[in-house]
Structure formats: C-alpha cells, structure tokens
C-alpha cells in the first residue's frame, strides 16, 4: 500500500514538474514547406474555424474544447488616407468592425449576401496565393500564374487600376477585387451560393469601378 | 503484518472514509457547476476537478494557497480506499472472487477518470473540402512561432509557449536566431483598425501591422463568453541589437514577416499545433436534413487517410458517434462551417480510454460471480433444511 501511495505521489510530482518545465521551453522542429499555409489576405489561420460565427454546432452536440469559440480576425495594415466607394442600389454598408474596414450587405433575410473590405501591408501575400486559397475554399484546384493572368479582369477606377476575379465553384462562387495603395493592398471579397453571387456580379463590378481615395 | 500497518490499513479501508470522499466529490460537483457561470465549463472543471487542490488567493497578499481538495486528490483517495478494502478483506479468494472483481473494476473506473483528467489531450482539426491537413490545434494553448523559411526543403519552426509571455521577459534559445522581449502582454484584447487621423497615443509597435492597429485590453473571458484573444507587443533582437517591435495577437490571422541577415522569417501567434506523421484530406462533408425541414439528420466527413510510413492510403467516413480511432487518437465529428464545405474534428488522445470498458466488464463479471456464490450458498441451506 505504501508503495502505491508513494508511487502516486511521484506520479503527481512528475505531472507538476512536466507542466512547469514545458512553459520555459522553446520547441524546435522542421516541417515540409507545403505543410504551412502561404501568407494570404483575409485568411483564417490554416485549419481555423470560420469567422463571423460560420462554424456551427450540430444540434444536440456537446460544445467544442477550450477556446473553440475564439473568432479570428483578418490581418490589417497601416493605411494612408482610405479607400471609398459608391454603393450600388440595394446595397447597405455597415461600419468596419474589428479589422474590417467595411462590410456590405446585399438583400435581406436568409438570402442576404455579404462582402468585406480589408487592407493588408505590402502586397498582402501576393495575388496567386490568395486566388488559390479562394479557389480551395470553394473546392477548386489551384491554378498557375498563366491561368491567373487569363482569369484576371483589369478594371479602371478613380483610385487606379483594380483587379477583379470571378471564381465560380461547384456550389459556391467568389467575387473579389484588389487594389494597391503604395503601403498596402486592399481586398474586397464577396462569397456565397453560386447563383445569388452571380446575380450580384454586375453591381460588384460597378462598386469596384467606383473606388476612389479619401485623401 | 505489523500492528500499526494493520491499523493504518483499517483506517484507510474504512467506510467512513469512502462516505467522506464521496461527500467531498459531491461538493466539488456542486461548486464546479455553480462556478461555470463565471469561469466557463473548461475553466471550472480545471479549477475543481483537474488538480489536486482548489486554490484561492489570500486577500491583500496575492499568494494562492490550497484551500480544499480537488478532484485529483479525491480520486487518489478513493483508489487508496478501494485498494485498502481489497487487501484487508478477510476470507478465501474463492468466496471473495466476486468482491475482488467488483472492487478492482471500481478502482479501474476511478483510475480511468484520473488518467483522463491528467493525461488526455483534446485538440481540433479543421479541414476544408479538398484541403489536406497534417496537424491538430490545441485551442486551450497558444504558441508564438518564428518560422525560418531560409532552408530549401523545410521550414524550421521555433515554437514559444505563449503562456510563458510576461511583461519584461525575454524569450530566447541558443538555437533560435532572434530573441523576443515582451514589451506588453494582454491575456485578452480587442483589436481595431487605427484611423489615419487617430488622436490615440502611438502604437507600441513600429514594425509589421501593429502601427495600424489599436489594442483595447479586455478582462479574461470564459470560452462561453467568446474566449480570449491573447495579444502582446514583442521586440525582436539579434545579438542584442533591436530589430523593431511587432504586435502579435490571436486575433491576427496572418503571419508577419521579418527579414534579417539574409534570412526570411514569419512571426505568428496561433493555437498550439501538434504535427502528425499522417495526413487527412477532406473529400466531402455531408450535412443531411430530414426532407422538407431544416432538422439535421446526419453530419459526416468523408476523408482520405494517408500514412506513408505505414503504407496506408484509405477512405474513412467519420460521422456522429462513429469516430475514427487511429494511432492512439479518436477523431470525432464536432462541427462544420463555410456553407457545409468545412469540417471540424475533435481529436481526443486519452491513454485511459479503454479503462471504463474494462471496469464495467469486471464489475459485471464480479456481480454475476457474487450472485452465483450466494445462490449456491442458499441452495445448500435449502437442501440441508429439506
């Protein structure tokens, strides 16, 4: 019995020691380059639950583990001046919350669509990694630089040249626009069910063509 | 057996001790339940069940002292009590076999819960359709990572435990190319874009995204209240020379970049990752509802499991109450998102997961055995009387 009790004490001591020691350690390891998500605009961390309450619990299912409810916010960059736009008819604008510069709402009720505006420092991770991340989000394979050039629509706005991307997936579709501001890159993105997003494409393009700087 | 040992064993085996321990356990369950309001489920379980003592801060001193036994200690007490009963019970093994099996089963039951509390690790794997993931994330722990992209085939990851971040503390390692001094640390904070004409004091950060962000420190929040977004300002130094101050936060999803001495590094605060020797690709996520309603009928993730070292490459369907059990881990269907194109798997690694099953088996066998012995005794008495 004494052995059992002293064994338990040793076990308890070992647990406490391990937890105390691990806090001070810097763990070093190597991973294959492909295992790490490339830097990308408006991305959740690789493998992170979706933002804006996108992750839902199935009815009757126990809650997730510790910290599971923590929402992520996209990265942001210092912005000089600010990007402005002219809203298409039927669109409403919500003030920027968290790291979002603005949120646009299209329509009402369950079929309401949402678009977001954010800015990131420098080139915001680069266009190709971002487009491929968007493609992956809607179940499409990645493309190369050549295909990206073919799929990029170059628009002109008072703020300067704007790149537009229309990425239709099997069930969902993404419309995105990108514009450089010297110190930062701005991204406007709309993502949702395929048909409603397709119907909003003309207005989305009008919005991109109305971009101007609030210097 | 010495007299003192016998006395100690008899005290340890006493029914009074069993009742006292069960009363303490009931009290702990009540306290744990009540405090879930302010601490959240996880925080409350951690305080009352997953330790050996419940601690409280001494008023005015800030020192935390143990004030009540916690679940771990009560569990150990129950195990000791049950074992003492086993060793001190009189009678031949044949007559006591049922009793032995029942008590051994109960010991294993308590031991199983003890092992779950102390050694089980719960993480999550979030994977989108078409995506391949070879790591799980611990949402209860965070790491500040510096990733060196300079090597051609691999990225070298320096993972610093975020719980070790304290204001004024420098995190360093002989092999890590940069040191990080914590300028400020907030266990929870809200981040907002800093307007260009902001009248607020300048940011503590002068590199990365920090100068364009305002940090509002918040009180720590329970998981049910939205959880914490740990945030800190860290100054990177190389050989004592400062390179600048960065804002790092769980709210910032993107890595920030540091270029130094020809090396390219990423800096990111993220949930603690555990890399696996195998990968999981989400081929399809299904969220079926009953026809004509939005009532869920089924959630299922069809995955491709690849383990090159074992030569495995197979499809697995994970659905409610049908986890994938693989390499010591159980992958449960836990959540979903992004218009049913993203699946969240709860990954549980519990070395004691089998113990409750063995325990129930032993208790059942013990009860049957005991019943049979009693039946035999009764039939002998009846036969004798007849």
pLDDT at A124 over 70: no
Question: Given an 8 Å threshold on Cβ–Cβ distance, is A15 in contact with B118?
Answer: yes
Tell which A residues from 84 to 103 touch B, by Cβ distance under 8 Å: 96, 98-101
pLDDT at B15 over 70: yes
Tell which A residues from 29 to 48 touch B, by Cβ distance under 8 Å: 29-33, 35-36, 39-41, 43-48
Tell which A residues from 114 to 173 touch B, by Cβ distance under 8 Å: 120-121, 125, 136-141, 171-172
- The pLDDT assigned to A171 comes to 86
Q: What is the mean pLDDT of chain B?
A: 87
pLDDT digits (tens, 9 = 90+) for A198-214: 999 999 999 999 998 77
At B386, is the pLDDT very low, low, confident or very high (cuts 50, 70, 90)?
low
Q: In Å, how far are A27, A66, B157, B274, B347 from B121, measured between CA atoms? A: 18, 11, 22, 11, 8
ipTM over 0.90: no
Residues 6+ apart with CB under 8 A from B378: none
- The pLDDT assigned to A66 comes to 28
- The pLDDT assigned to B69 comes to 94
Q: What are phi and psi of A54, to 5 degrees?
A: -65, -30
- Average pLDDT of span B308-335: 92
Contacts of A43 in chain B (CB under 8 A): 253-254
At A96, is the pLDDT very low, low, confident or very high (cuts 50, 70, 90)?
low
In three-state secondary structure terms, A34 is: helix
Long-range contacts made by residues B172-176, C-beta under 8 angstroms, separation at least 24? B172/A26, B173/A26, B173/A28, B175/A26, B175/A28, B176/A26, B176/A28, B176/B146
- The pLDDT assigned to B1 comes to 61
Sort residue A196 into left (φ over 0), alpha (ψ -120 to 50) or beta: alpha
Residue count (chain B): 386
- Average pLDDT of span B24-34: 95
Structure tokens at A130: 């971002």
Question: Given an 8 Å threshold on Cβ–Cβ distance, is B208 in contact with A24?
Answer: no
DSSP state for residue B203 in the 8-state scheme: P
At A72, is the pLDDT very low, low, confident or very high (cuts 50, 70, 90)?
very low
Shortest Cα distance from A86 to chain B (angstroms)?
20
Shortest Cα distance from A183 to chain B (angstroms)?
11
- Average pLDDT of span A163-168: 94
pLDDT digits (tens, 9 = 90+) for B127-152: 988 889 999 998 888 999 999 988 87
pLDDT digits (tens, 9 = 90+) for B155-165: 899 999 998 89
- Average pLDDT of span A110-129: 77
Place of tokens 């993105």: A189
Question: Given an 8 Å threshold on Cβ–Cβ distance, is B176 in contact with A26?
Answer: yes
- Average pLDDT of span B276-302: 85
At B311, is the pLDDT very low, low, confident or very high (cuts 50, 70, 90)?
very high
- The pLDDT assigned to B360 comes to 95
| C-beta neighbour count of B81 within 10 angstroms | 25
- Average pLDDT of span A146-151: 90
Identify whether the C-beta of residue A156 lies closer than 8 Å to the C-beta of residue A149.
no
- Tell whether A54 lies on the interface with B, counting CB pairs under 8 A: yes
Structure tokens at B62: 């800030």
pTM of the predicted structure, to 2 decimals: 0.59
Structure tokens at B181: 């001094």
Check residues A77 and A86 and name the one with the higher pLDDT. Answer: A86
Smallest CA–CA distance from A184 into chain B, residue = B209
- The pLDDT assigned to B66 comes to 92
pLDDT digits (tens, 9 = 90+) for A19-62: 333 345 789 998 876 533 333 333 333 333 333 333 333 333 33
Question: Given an 8 Å threshold on Cβ–Cβ distance, is B341 in contact with A121?
Answer: no
In three-state secondary structure terms, B43 is: helix
Identify the CA nearest to B275 among candidates B144, B133, B152, B147.
B133
- The pLDDT assigned to B87 comes to 80
- The pLDDT assigned to B345 comes to 94
Question: Given an 8 Å threshold on Cβ–Cβ distance, is B341 in contact with A22?
Answer: no
- Average pLDDT of span B185-193: 88
- The pLDDT assigned to A38 comes to 32
pLDDT at B215 over 60: yes
| C-beta neighbour count of B330 within 10 angstroms | 17
Q: What is the mean pLDDT of chain A?
A: 68
- Average pLDDT of span B80-98: 79
- The pLDDT assigned to A54 comes to 31
| C-beta neighbour count of B196 within 10 angstroms | 13
Check residues A125 and B358 and name the one with the higher pLDDT. Answer: B358
The beta-carbon neighbor of B344 closest among A49, A73, A78 is A49
Residue B228 to residue B248: CA distance in whole angstroms: 14
Question: Given an 8 Å threshold on Cβ–Cβ distance, is B155 in contact with A33?
Answer: yes
Listed in order, strand segments (DSSP E) in chain A are 26-32, 83-84, 91-95, 102-106, 113-121, 152-157, 160-168, 172-180, 184-193, 212-213
- The pLDDT assigned to B3 comes to 79
Residue A126 to residue A185: CA distance in whole angstroms: 9
Percent of chain A surpassing pLDDT 90: 19
Question: Given an 8 Å threshold on Cβ–Cβ distance, is B196 in contact with A54?
Answer: no
| Top mean-pLDDT range of A7-16, B12-21, B89-98, B376-385 | B12-21
- Tell whether A215 lies on the interface with B, counting CB pairs under 8 A: no
**Pairing of β A83-84 and β A184-193:** unpaired
- Average pLDDT of span A84-88: 89
pLDDT at B220 over 60: yes
- DSSP codes joined into one string, B3-41: HHHHHHHHHHT-HHHHHHHHHHHHHHHHHHHHHHHHHHH
- Average pLDDT of span B359-374: 92
The beta-carbon neighbor of A75 closest among B79, B143, B209 is B209
Q: List the beta bridge partners of residue A55.
A: none
Shortest Cα distance from B97 to chain A (angstroms)?
20
Residue B43 to residue B32: CA distance in whole angstroms: 9
Q: What are phi and psi of B228, to 5 degrees?
A: -105, 150
- The pLDDT assigned to B228 comes to 84
Q: List the beta bridge partners of residue B65.
A: B56
Place of tokens 């990029």: A152
- DSSP codes joined into one string, A36-83: SPPP-TTPPPTTPPPTTTT-BPPTTPPPPSTTTTPPPB------SS-E
Residue B194 to residue B203: CA distance in whole angstroms: 9
The beta-carbon neighbor of A23 closest among B163, B195, B255 is B163
- The pLDDT assigned to A128 comes to 86
């Amino acid at each position: 019995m004494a052995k059992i009790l002293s064994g338990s004490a040793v076990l308890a001591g070992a647990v406490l020691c391990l937890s105390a020691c691990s806090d001070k350690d810097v763990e070093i390891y190597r991973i294959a380059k492909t295992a790490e998500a490339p830097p990308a605009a408006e991305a959740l961390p690789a493998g992170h639950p979706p933002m804006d309450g996108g992750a839902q619990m199935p009815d009757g299912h126990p809650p997730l583990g510790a910290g599971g409810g923590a929402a992520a916010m996209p990265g942001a960059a210092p912005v000089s001046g600010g990007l402005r736009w002219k809203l298409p008819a039927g669109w409403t604008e919500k003030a920027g919350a968290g790291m979002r510069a603005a949120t646009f709402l299209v329509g009402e009720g369950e079929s309401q669509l949402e678009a977001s505006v954010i800015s990131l420092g420098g080139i915001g991770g680069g266009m190709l990694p971002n487009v491929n991340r968007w493609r992956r989000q809607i179940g499409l394979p990645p493309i190369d630089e050549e295909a990206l050039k073919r799929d990029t629509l170059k628009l002109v706005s008072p703020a300067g040249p704007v790149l537009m991307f229309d990425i239709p997936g099997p069930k969902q579709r993404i419309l995105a626009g990108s514009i450089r501001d010297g110190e930062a890159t701005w991204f406007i993105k709309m993502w949702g069910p395929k048909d409603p997003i397709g119907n909003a494409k003309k207005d989305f393009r009008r919005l991109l063509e109305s971009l101007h700087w609030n210097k | 057996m010495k007299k003192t040992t016998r006395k100690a064993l008899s005290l340890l085996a006493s029914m009074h001790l069993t009742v006292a321990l069960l009363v303490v356990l009931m009290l702990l369950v009540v306290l744990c339940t009540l405090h879930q309001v302010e601490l959240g489920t996880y925080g409350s379980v951690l305080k009352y069940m997953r330790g050996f003592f419940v601690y409280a801060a001494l008023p005015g001193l800030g020192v935390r002292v143990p004030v009540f036994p916690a679940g771990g200690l009560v569990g150990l007490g129950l195990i000791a009590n049950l074992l003492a009963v086993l060793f001190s019970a009189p009678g031949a093994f044949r007559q006591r076999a049922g009793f032995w099996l029942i008590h051994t089963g109960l010991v294993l039951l308590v031991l199983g819960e003890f092992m779950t509390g102390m050694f089980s690790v719960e993480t999550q794997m979030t994977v989108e359709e078409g995506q391949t993931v070879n790591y799980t994330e611990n949402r209860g722990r965070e790491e500040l990572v510096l990733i060196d992209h300079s090597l051609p085939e691999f990225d070298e990851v320096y993972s610093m435990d975020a719980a070790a971040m304290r204001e004024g503390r420098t995190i360093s390692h002989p092999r890590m190319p940069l040191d990080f001094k914590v300028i400020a640390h907030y266990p929870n904070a809200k981040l907002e874009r800093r307007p260009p004409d902001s009248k607020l004091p300048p940011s503590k950060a002068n590199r990365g995204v920090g100068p364009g962000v305002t940090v509002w420190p918040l009180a720590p929040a329970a998981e049910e209240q939205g959880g914490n977004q740990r945030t800190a300002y860290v100054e990177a130094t190389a050989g004592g020379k400062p390179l600048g101050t960065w804002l790092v936060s769980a709210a910032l999803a993107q890595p920030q970049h540091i270029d130094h001495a020809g090396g390219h590094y990423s800096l990111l605060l993220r949930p603690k990752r555990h890399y696996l020797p195998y990968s999981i690709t989400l081929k399809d996520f299904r969220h079926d509802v009953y026809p004509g309603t939005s009532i869920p009928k089924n959630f299922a993730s069809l995955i491709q499991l690849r383990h090159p070292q074992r030569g495995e490459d197979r499809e697995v369907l994970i659905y409610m109450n049908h986890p994938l059990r693989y390499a010591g881990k159980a992958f449960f269907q836990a959540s979903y998102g992004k218009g049913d194109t993203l699946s969240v798997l709860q990954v549980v690694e519990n070395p004691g997961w089998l113990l409750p099953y063995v325990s129930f088996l032993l208790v059942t066998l013990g009860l049957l055995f005991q019943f049979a012995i009693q039946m035999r005794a009764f039939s002998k008495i009846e036969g004798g009387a007849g």
